[in-house]
Each structure stands twice: as C-alpha cells, then as structure tokens.
Structure 1
Amino acid sequence: MGIQPFPQAPTDQSAASSLTALRAQLEAAGCFERKPLRAVAELVANLLGSVLAFLVARQLMRAGAPWAAAPMFAVGSFLFYRNGWLMHDAAHGGSWPGIKANRWFAALVAGVLGEFPSGWRHGHNRHHARTNVLGEDWDQRERWDPTRRYSSRWRAWMGLFLFTRYRGIYLPASLLFMGLRDGYYCNRHYRDRFAAELTAVIIGLGLQLGGFICLAGVWQGVLLFLLHTHLGMIYLNSAFAGNHYDLETFTPEQARELDMASLQARTTRNYAGGWWTHYVFGGLEKQLEHHLFPHLPRHHLHRAAPYVRDFVRARGLPYHEAPFWHCYMRVLDFHVDPPRTQAPRT
C-alpha cells in the first residue's frame, strides 16, 4: 500500500487529535507490530559476537599484534553494548505485546549490562517529556553548564565524550557512573524494586569482570573491564549526541505553550544514512519518530518516517535530518562557541 500524505489539519483541530490520526495511520501500516523473537535472537547474537571478538583480541595479543587486538577489543565492546538498544526498546514497551513481558525483558537485558532499568527509565522519561527544556531535561544537562565550554573541537571532544563532570571534578566517562546514578533513582523512587535490580546488577557486572579476568588475569582483567565500560559510555554518548544538543532550547514557561509535536519536532534531529547507520544506531537514528511515539518498536521507525515527515511538514514544523558526522561536529562547535541563537529565548 502506498503512503498517503498526511492531510493538512484544519485550524480548529487539536494537536492531540492530529497525533491520534497519525498513530492510526502508523498502526494501519503495521508499524506497531512487536517481534519478541527478533529481540531474543539479537540479544544472543550480540553476546556471542562480543565474546568471539574478545577471544580473537586475546589471541592477537598473544601473537604479538596489539595494533590488531585493540580494534578487535573495541568491536567486542560495541557488540556488547548494542544490547542497550534492546533494553531501551523493552523499557518503552516496544519489544513484547504485554507490559509485564516488556518489563521482564528490560530487566533481563539491564542485568546483563549491569544497569538499573527502573532508575534509568525514571530519568529517560523526563527527557522524552521535556526535551531541551531548560533545567528539566535530565539527559541534556551538559549543554547548559557554562563551565563546559572549550577552546577547540579536540578539547570539546575530550570534555564531552571522554570525561564526565561531577561537582567540579572530571572523571572518565563510564557506564559504571551512569549505573550509580540510576541506582540512586531506583532506590529513591522505586524502592520495592531496588533489591532485585541491585542483585541483577551485581551478577551482571560480576560476570563481565570475571570474564575479563579469565581472559587476561586479575589486574589486566580489571583494567580491561574498566576500559570496556568506558568504551560503552563513549558509544552511547556519541550515538545520541547529535539528536538534540544544538537545536532549540526552551524555558519551562515557553515549553508549556507548545504542543507535544511542536516541542519534539523543534528539538529533535534524525541521522540520515543507509543500512550501516541503521545497524550502528539500532533504528534510533529516526529519533523524531521515536520521540513522538516512544512505544513504537525501533525496527519499524524507518517505516514510520515518511508518515511523520508529511505530518510535521503539513503543520509547518521542521523535519531535522543530517548525516551523523555533520551532527557530531555541530555538537562540538556548540561547546566551542555556542551560537547566540541557541540560548533560551526570553
């Protein structure tokens, strides 16, 4: 069935009813179909691929080829942390037909990663509801920190992607620190789940650490584990860096005057690209589609894109899309010399 252009909404039609009509189009196109077996297969493939890559890296080191072992180790970490897309999808309700099944799968994958799913979801939902809203978008705090301004792209890259800043101290960017943050959120807001999630985190991180110790010995294994979590944070930070940072920012008062579609379209950018972009970013390169419909399974976001593009353009809203590296450079430039037009408007 061909894609029908989304009709221009009458002036008296509410934004909510327009989104409801768009959702109906997407449902008719099969965009909300869940594929749980695909999620399980992807989890198994990512884990097996990462273990194989780490084993190959060990053999290369033993053969005296560290120049080849290092990129193979990075491939192993990349494959392992692609499971983050699976946790993300299930936490939003996009992997399995039922709410309970999605929560169980999200908890399983989070345990593998060493993450607190309830704590992560608490902060992430704030990002979805208040994207680029000053002081209320918890995923975008660095952009408003006046101390995180740099003299060059190189320094900006180091300050944004290699390190995290906590109470004036720069620490290596690591998923361990993000896990501590989400553990705090879990304990504070979902205390009934904290014990179970903490147990899963300890098991998950213990298995990772034990695996690296088996590969390289105690001290080298600990260092490899820390490097592994560092690479994972760089990957995830980089993946979402260009989706929002340099786009419009709103104060809470301004945001309250915008409907959801307007806020998301003006603050969200997609990455353009083919199959490689789709693989690296797990389908979430279609970030606007995901922000408008968080429950929409990420593997169907590319199918939803033409409908969403017609919808936002019919409403006179922008459909931001650019290649990843273009977006990445814009983020670095934003922190070197932030454009005046990107400051919160008064």
Structure 2
Amino acid sequence: MPPQVAEAPERRIFSRQEIAALNSELKNDDRGDAMKFTIIDNKIYDVSDFVHEHPGGAQVLLTQLGKDATDVFHAMHPASAYEVLANNYVGDLANDVSLPKGNNTAFADEMREYRDKLEAQGFFQADKGFYTYKLVSTVMISVLSLAVLRAYGHSTTGVLVSAFIMGIFWQQCGWLSHDFAHHQVFEDRSLNDVVVVFLGNLCQGFSLSWWKNKHNTHHASTNVHGQDPDINTAPILLWDEYTSSDYYSSLSADDSGVAKFIAQNIIPNQTRYFFFVLAFARLSWAHSSFLYSFKQGSINKSAKLNFFECAAIVVHWTVFTAVTYFWIDSALNRALFFIVSQATTGYALALVFALNHSGMPVISEEKAEEMEFFEIQVITGRDVKNGLLGDWFCGGLNYQIEHHIFPNMPRHNLKKVQPKVIEMCKRHNVPYHLTGFWKGTLEVLQTLDIVQKVSAKLSKKAF
C-alpha cells in the first residue's frame, strides 16, 4: 500500500505543545508525509503543498517548520505575500501565557516597534540617485579594466593591472547584486531581479537563483548548525565544534585514503591554508551557479527566468574567453589574467564574508528554537568599523547586524540606524559585536585555530 498522507485538519485552535509535537514528528518522518506547519502572527499555516513552490526556495521554508516564523516572514516578504499566505491558513495559536515564545521577548517587541517606526519614516525607501550612481560607477570599473587590457594586452604589467581592476569590478557587482536581490531598490520585485540578472548572471557569471536559494536560508537561520548553508563548508573548512564533531563521527577506518588524508592532515591545519583557499572562492561559486541554473532551474520555477539566467551565464563566459583570447597576445598572459582576476575577486569577497559571521557563535537547532529571531541576528553578526573607503570596499556589509535585522533596508540607511540598535542591545543585554577590519580577521583565524585543534583530537579517535 502507498504511504498514508494525513488529511489537512479543519481550522481550529492549536496549542504550542501540539505544534512542538508536530514538529518533532516532522523531524522523525523519513518519507516526508508529516503535515508541515508554520506559525506567523499567531496563526497556523499548512505549507505541505506550498513548500516546493515557495518562490524564495524550499530550503528556507523548511527551516521554519513547526516554529514561530513571524519575524522571518515580515523581514523577507512584501505585502503581496500575505494573499498567498492566507490560502494556507488552517487555524490559530492558543494564547497560553505560561509558555513564553522565546528568550528576550522584550527586546524582540521593541525591535518590531522600531521597525514599524522606520518604515513610517521612509527608511526602507531607496535613494534612487544613490543607486544610479552605484550602478554607473560600478560598470565604469569594468570599462576601465577593459580599456587597460585593450591598450596594454601585450604587456604583462598591463594584463596584471587590468585583471586586478576586473576582480574589484566583480566584487563591487556582488555587493550591488546583493542589494537588488534583497529588493532594497525597487518596490516592483521583478525590476530588482532584472538588474540582478544583469549584474549577477551577465557581469559575474553568478546565478540569481543559486544565490537566493542559499542566501535566503542563511538569513532565516543565521549560524544555526545544520541549517545555515554558509557555515556548511566541510571538508574544506570547519567553523565550529558541532560541525567538527559531525564530520569526524561520520568517518570510519574503512574510508578512502583521500578522506583519511584530509581528516588527518588538512583540516587540523586549516589556519595555514585559509588564505590560499580564498583565492578559489569565486571559481567555486561560479561553478555552483552554473550547475544550479542548468540542472535545477530558476528558484521560482519560471522557465522564462531560467532561460535568461542560463543565457546570461553563457554570454558572460563567452565574452570573457573572447576578450582574453583576442586582446592578450600570449598564453602566459592569458593565464595570468584569468588567475589574477579570479583570485582578486575571491579574496575581495571572501575576506568580507568571513568577517560577517565567521568566528561568531554557532547555535544548535534546539537552542535556536528557544531564541527570538532578532536576538539570533545580533549575537551571530559582526559589525566592522570602517571609513569611507572601507564602507565602499565592504559594500555596506560591515553593518552586518543591521542588515540582518532589516534585510530589505537600503545600504545607505544602515549606518543611520546603527546607534539606536546598539543602544537597544545594551539596554536588553544582547551582545553586540563591533570591531575593526584586521581585529575581526584575527578573530576569524582564532576560531579556525580552535576548531583545528579540536579536529586534530577527533582525528586521532577516528582512525
């Protein structure tokens, strides 16, 4: 007989105990037949049929099953999403005051009020002049790189200078793509996506859908072990003791020589090769983007979007190949241009990404269920003190905590709200971490060192 799928219940009142039990049932259900519920604004929604049609990706929705996803939903959805949400309504949450929703509820309540105030004051409205300037100035970086290459493609020095400038162009494209992909600029989300396909798929060779699927999940479950894809980098790098324990417990004496070599000799020395690995970050992301677009399609299941994404990626690499072949006069210089441009972007992106959350607390799934969304965003993020040049280089992501609290707020307003966020965190005893660029990088290396020492001990037990 085929597996029995539970019928949707009639609309009724659910207790928190019932939702917790359903969530536990879901985790233990290998067939995926359990009902999939989430809580938003004290209402219960059955998303069993909707989960794989979710335009933001299935994975981000799966991280919120059985949980109160109110703050995640409001932070990442437009008003139009409420109509879709209403179609999945099945009941209400019982008002049981004996069961608190999470730790630091007062902090969350005040943060929600602050968000409403900022919306009323227009802080979520983009300055179109700022983004026009950013778009034009960013594209001009590529024009400068190509102009240098066209004029000095016969010179190794000229090739290296052009490659470096192109690497910075790709990095700045990444930050600008990030803003548009978070729908910070246009109220019409489709217009934001058009710009991302241009800046991401065409200019960088990165897939809009690949990025959104990964990044949306990161925002919903930041630094949550087993859920946040940004900290799931094993066996290349291990960022916390949870991952180290999971990785080494999965190994056995019968594993291949390669797996054993990595476990015994590579990971226990990860601080030594960390900066070497960063050089390959762009190539890794480009490869993942290519596979995602051509194998999985677009994140919203649109054949039209997938066509444009795939076509833009093909054009990106076709133009890159043609330019390097016709404008550079030797195989050695072509190789240098490829390596230096890719590595420059890898370092310029990954150094900033590492500062965002690496080395900050990693939370277990069980602990995360007891915490409020805003509290998780603050304690897992790292803000970096920068001047104007540093702000430009980091693309506004040095205000990482504010960005995670208000992901659809335009980057030019993040600095304005930072003092108030710091004040609120201090008053509610929520740890807020602000440091310098090099101090933050040192913290990242110190975390890698701690984990590599743990890994060395686990390696001896595993083999």
Q: TM-score, normalised by structure 1?
A: 0.81
What percentage of residue pairs aligned between the two structures are identical?
24
Distance in 1, matches of 2:313 and 2:372, equals 38
Q: Are 1:151 and 2:242 an aligned pair?
A: no
Q: 2:279 aligns with which of 162, 173, 177?
A: 162
Q: 2:287 aligns with which of 141, 161, 177?
A: 177
Q: What is the CA deviation profile of residues 26-77 of structure 1, one whole-angstrom value per residue up to 9, with x for unaligned ones? A: 335542221334323322322222331343366567467x3x7635531332
Distance in 1, matches of 2:453 and 2:432, equals 22
Rg larger for: 2
Q: Tell me the equivalent position of 1:83.
A: 173
Determine if contact 2:175/2:395 at 8 Å carries over to the other structure.
yes
Q: 1:49 aligns with which of 133, 141, 144?
A: 141
The SS at the match of 2:267 is coil
Distance in 2, matches of 1:209 and 1:162, equals 20
After TM superposition, the structure 1 = structure 2 runs for residues 1-346 of structure 1, keeping only pairs within 5 Å, are: 16-56=108-148, 59=151, 62=154, 66=157, 70-71=160-161, 73-110=163-200, 111-142=202-233, 143=239, 144=243, 147=263, 149-151=267-269, 153-159=271-277, 161-163=278-280, 173-180=283-290, 182-183=292-293, 186-187=296-297, 189-192=299-302, 193-217=305-329, 219=331, 220-221=333-334, 224-225=337-338, 227-338=340-451
Q: What is the CA deviation profile of residues 269-328 of structure 1, one whole-angstrom value per residue up to 9, with x for unaligned ones? A: 111121111110111110000000110011211112112112222221011111111111
Classify 1:12/1:157 alpha carbon distance in 2 versus 1 (closer, same or farther; 3 Å). Answer: closer
Amino acid at match of 1:27: E
The SS at the match of 2:357 is coil
Amino acid at match of 1:123: K
Q: Tell me the equivalent position of 2:63.
A: none
Listed as ranges, the gaps of 5+ residues in structure 1 are 1-10, 165-171, 342-346
Determine if contact 1:115/1:182 at 8 Å carries over to the other structure.
no
Distance in 1, matches of 2:436 and 2:392, equals 14
Distance in 2, matches of 1:28 and 1:272, equals 28
The SS at the match of 1:113 is coil
Q: What is the CA deviation profile of residues 199-225 of structure 1, one whole-angstrom value per residue up to 9, with x for unaligned ones? A: 121122322332333321484446623
Distance in 2, matches of 1:95 and 1:136, equals 28
Structure 1 position 87, deviation (Å): 0.9
The SS at the match of 1:119 is helix
> Which range moves more in the overlay, 101-110 or 134-143?
101-110
The SS at the match of 2:126 is coil
Determine if contact 2:354/2:444 at 8 Å carries over to the other structure.
yes
Q: What is the CA deviation profile of residues 141-187 of structure 1, one whole-angstrom value per residue up to 9, with x for unaligned ones? A: 1323564634374433224x1346xxxxxxx8544224235436852
Counting matched residue pairs gives: 321
> Which range moves more in the overlay, 100-109 or 177-186?
177-186
Q: Tell me the equivalent position of 1:168.
A: none
Aligned alpha-carbon RMSD (Å): 3.0
Structure 1 position 194, deviation (Å): 2.2
Classify 1:332/1:149 alpha carbon distance in 2 versus 1 (closer, same or farther; 3 Å). Answer: farther
Listed as ranges, the gaps of 5+ residues in structure 2 are 1-102, 234-238, 248-262, 455-463
Classify 1:256/1:152 alpha carbon distance in 2 versus 1 (closer, same or farther; 3 Å). Answer: closer
Determine if contact 1:112/1:205 at 8 Å carries over to the other structure.
no
Q: What is the CA deviation profile of residues 226-266 of structure 1, one whole-angstrom value per residue up to 9, with x for unaligned ones? A: 54233222221111102211111111111111101111111
Distance in 1, matches of 2:450 and 2:107, equals 36
Classify 1:186/1:236 alpha carbon distance in 2 versus 1 (closer, same or farther; 3 Å). Answer: farther
Q: Tell me the equivalent position of 1:169.
A: none
Distance in 2, matches of 1:109 and 1:308, equals 31
Classify 1:33/1:61 alpha carbon distance in 2 versus 1 (closer, same or farther; 3 Å). Answer: same
> Which range moves more in the overlay, 255-264 or 330-339?
330-339
> Which range moves more in the overlay, 203-212 or 243-252?
203-212
Amino acid at match of 2:213: H
> Which range moves more in the overlay, 195-204 or 82-91?
195-204
Structure 1 position 97, deviation (Å): 2.7
Structure 1 position 140, deviation (Å): 1.3
Determine if contact 1:150/1:335 at 8 Å carries over to the other structure.
no
The SS at the match of 2:413 is helix
Determine if contact 1:55/1:215 at 8 Å carries over to the other structure.
no
The SS at the match of 1:331 is helix
Structure 1 position 128, deviation (Å): 0.6
Distance in 2, matches of 1:218 and 1:43, equals 33
Distance in 2, matches of 1:12 and 1:225, equals 50
Amino acid at match of 2:223: N
Q: What is the CA deviation profile of residues 112-144 of structure 1, one whole-angstrom value per residue up to 9, with x for unaligned ones? A: 222211221011011111111111110111323
